[in-house]
A and B are shown apart, each in its own frame.
Chain A
């Protein structure tokens, strides 16, 4: 009979009207500025640069290898290599980025820079309230604005960070052990050959390139 379907529909909207007051499964709205949903661990927004220790300009993990700059699909990363070198966490002298800019008005949050980075230096941030009145400089993140401490990374991606930290500790321990062994070997050699005429070059091993696709997420 004409009208039955309409009445069924009315009953349905009526039920939803009542249900929106009773059933949290129906009323899914979150009143954003006051209420916030917990951010998912995998959530990604824009990249940031991880640094170890306290100071960003010392502990930056990035070695300015420019892989991310090459791989970035929308080409929003700009890196200038430094002239000098600084020791990294293993003590090996490395370049560091003199300029590291990410234009987040171009960045599409695809995470490819994170995946291809062999040094665990660039990670995805979860900061999403980035609106600014200055659409040029406000949206161009420079090195200083990008650099964030490892503790921040640990806070937003705990599983990931723990794994990476563990690996880095391992690497460091290995590197130190090797350095020590090398030094001892050298010392032995030196004592055996010509004592006093050695150049104390601690040839640290190359950091084991982390499997890029694994380091980021798993």
Chain B
């Protein structure tokens, strides 16, 4: 029963493609998977926007949307109808073609990144040997779309936003990729499926071998997550759309459905980055404890995804935004060195083993590097809490 449930979607796909001729079967399967991904994550996008608004509202002691549908959960449908029926305004001076293509150029690569995510056991739409590379390659293509949007609008704010976005994405691409290299080193594979399988609990062990349970893995996970915040332009790294400074950044001149596409691409990017974080560090679809193996694998994946997205929302409800130069400093002076330090640490862990020796050797390196780098980052700017004096009365 559990196995059936686990392989439910795999069987379904198999059943749908089985009658087809051999030659086109993989392509049809890919198309169906893509359709399913779009449907599932499109719905996720809708629900997440509502949940985010409600959660942030609760953090701010408000009620949040509660008018459309039960508890306001159909708000996203209302929003969707609104954006679809809105007039699509293109500035007269805008570069019409590029302006039109930008949202598409942003959305397509983002959707492609989902193809290599293993949503469950045997549930990878495109099980490439170089899946991780595919993910990053597709993700890197979004930068250009952001530039296209900002440049073609012929708006000073959008140009500033585009410049910020590109600078930010390029800078965070490095720690984003580097933080995953440790996983590749330990696993010895670029295939996302293999990376997940390597994190399952070994026979006889009760705890899974998630990479986040190791000192280097925890640090790399946090780095990856921070870089994912930056890559998906989420607070506190939402400078490209910093609404208090440059109003909406690169998509300031977009309205209606095109704006919705940008919005959707942002959320899908968040999902795919979170999914990759789950895959690389949180064991993908594997259960944390061996005795929980009976829960269907895709449930684990989506559960972990939900936790990470909740984290994204939580952070957004809390932090102010960084400034551009601080963002750059943080990427190049903190995250990049730390990511580079994590690489040899992962190698040491590989040879020292999973036991106490590994912990004893690697944990101090990671913690020490974190403290020193953090102190140098903050200390150079003399940032600290201050004490204040009072006038003598």
CB of A208, distance to nearest CB on chain B (Å): 51
Report B58-80 residues with CB < 8 Å from chain A CB: 58-63, 66
CA distance A102 to B318 in the complex (A): 48
Query: Whole-angstrom distance between the alpha carbons of A27 and B374 in the complex?
Result: 37
Name the CB-closest residue of A to B367: A1
- Secondary structure of the B contact surface, majority rule: helix
Residues on the A chain within 8 Å of B318, using CB: 6, 9-10, 12-13
Are A20 and B378 in contact (CB-based, < 8 A)? no
| Number of chain B interface residues as a range | 20 to 34
- CB contact under 8 A between A10 and B62, given known A2-B375, A17-B55: no
Within 8 Å of chain A (Cβ to Cβ): is B292? no
- Is there contact, CB below 8 Å, between B61 and A16? yes
Asked if A27 and B63 sit within 8 Å, CB to CB, the answer is yes
Other-chain contact of B371, A1, A9, A10 (Cβ < 8 Å): A1
Q: Which of B61, B315, B377 contacts A26, CB < 8 Å?
A: B61
Report B-chain residues with C-beta under 8 Å of the C-beta of A31: 63, 66
Would you call B387 an interface residue if the criterion is a C-beta within 8 Å of the partner chain's C-beta atoms? no
Indicate if A87 sits at the interface (CB-CB under 8 A).
Answer: no
In the complex the two chains form, is B62's CB within 8 Å of A29's CB?
A: yes
- Provide the residues of chain B in CB contact with A3, threshold 8 Å: 374
Given known contacts A27-B61, A27-B63, A28-B61, A14 and B378 CB-to-CB distance under 8 angstroms: no
Are A1 and B61 in contact (CB-based, < 8 A)?
no
Determine if A21 is an interface residue (Cβ-Cβ < 8 Å). Answer: yes
Closest chain-A Cβ to B386's Cβ sits at a distance in Å of: 13
Shortest distance between the CB of B391 and any CB in chain A (Å)? 28
- Say whether B319 faces chain A, with CB atoms less than 8 Å apart: yes
Which residue of chain A has the shortest Cβ distance to B330 in the bound complex?
A: A2
Bound-complex Cα distance A9 to B316 (A): 11
- Check if B59 sits within 8 Å of A16, measured CB to CB: yes
**Is A21 within 8 A of B58, CB to CB?**
yes
B62–A9 touching, CB < 8 Å: no
B375 to chain A: closest residue by CB: A2
B241 → A minimal CB distance (Å): 21
Partner of B61, one of A2, A14, A20: A20
Query: How does the 8 Å CB contact mask read for B294-318 relative to A, with 1 for contact and 0 for none?
Result: 0000000000000000000011011
B380 to chain A, nearest CB (A): 12
CA distance A10 to B59 in the complex (A): 10
B367 smallest CB distance to A (angstroms): 10
List the B residue with the shortest CB-CB distance to A5.
Answer: B385
Within the complex, the shortest CB–CB distance from B305 to chain A, in Å, comes to 20
Taking the closest CB of chain B, its distance from the CB of A132, in whole angstroms, is: 24
| A residues in contact with B61, CB < 8 Å | 16, 19-20, 26-29
Question: How far is A20 from B317 in the complex, measured between Cα atoms in Å?
Answer: 14
Residue of B nearest to A21 (CB): B58
With A6-B318, A9-B318, A10-B315 as contacts: A17 and B374 at CB distance below 8 Å: no
The answer to whether B59 and A2 touch across the interface, beta carbons within 8 angstroms, is: no
Q: How far is the CA of A26 from the CA of B377 in the complex (A)?
A: 37
* B58 and A9 contact, CB distance less than 8 A: no
Can you name the residue of chain B whose Cβ is closest to the Cβ of A9?
B318
Distance in Å from the Cβ of A139 to the closest Cβ of chain B?
A: 28
- Given A6-B319, A10-B318, the answer on whether A29 and B63 have CB atoms closer than 8 Å is yes
What residues of chain A lie closer than 8 Å to B377, measured between beta carbons?
Answer: 2
A6 to chain B: which residues have CB within 8 Å? Answer: 318-319
B55 contacts which chain A residues (CB < 8 A)? 17
Instruction: Tell whether, in the assembled complex, residue A16 and residue B378 are in contact, meaning their CB atoms are under 8 Å apart.
Output: no
| Chain A min CB distance to B23 (Å) | 53
Name the B residues within 8 Å of A19 (CB-CB). 61
Given A9-B319, A14-B314, A27-B63, A2-B374 contact (CB < 8 Å)? yes
Give residues of chain B (160-186) contacting chain A, Cβ–Cβ below 8 Å. Answer: none
For the complex, what is the distance from the CA of A14 to the CA of B370, rounded to whole Å? 25
Q: Which residue of A lies closest to B334 (CB)?
A: A2
Q: Which of B59, B63, B66 contacts A17 (CB 8 A)?
A: B59
The distance in angstroms between the C-alpha atoms of A29 and B54, with both chains bound, is 14
Closest residue to A18 on the B side, CB-wise?
Answer: B58
A31, B55: Cα distance in complex, Å: 18
Contacts of A1 in B (CB 8 A): 370-371, 374-375
Q: How far is the CB of B55 from chain A (nearest CB, A)?
A: 7
Assess whether B314 is in contact with A13, with CB atoms less than 8 Å apart.
yes
Inter-chain contact A13/B63, CB cutoff 8 Å? no
**Residue from A6, A14, A17 having most chain B Cβ neighbours under 10 A:** A17
Name the interface residues of A170-216: CB closer than 8 Å to any CB of B: none
- B interface residues (Cβ-Cβ under 8 A, vs A): 55, 58-63, 66, 314-315, 317-319, 334, 370-371, 374-375, 377-378
Other A-B contacts than A13-B317, A16-B58, 19 sampled, CB-CB below 8 A, are A1-B375, A2-B334, A2-B371, A2-B378, A3-B374, A9-B319, A10-B314, A12-B318, A13-B59, A13-B314, A16-B60, A17-B55, A20-B62, A27-B62, A28-B61, A29-B61, A29-B62, A31-B63, A31-B66
A-B contact pairs, 9 of them (CB 8 A): A2-B370, A2-B374, A3-B374, A6-B318, A13-B317, A16-B59, A17-B314, A17-B317, A20-B58
Of all A-B residue pairs in the complex, the 9 with the closest CB atoms, nearest first, are: A2-B374, A13-B59, A13-B318, A20-B58, A26-B61, A17-B59, A9-B318, A17-B58, A20-B61
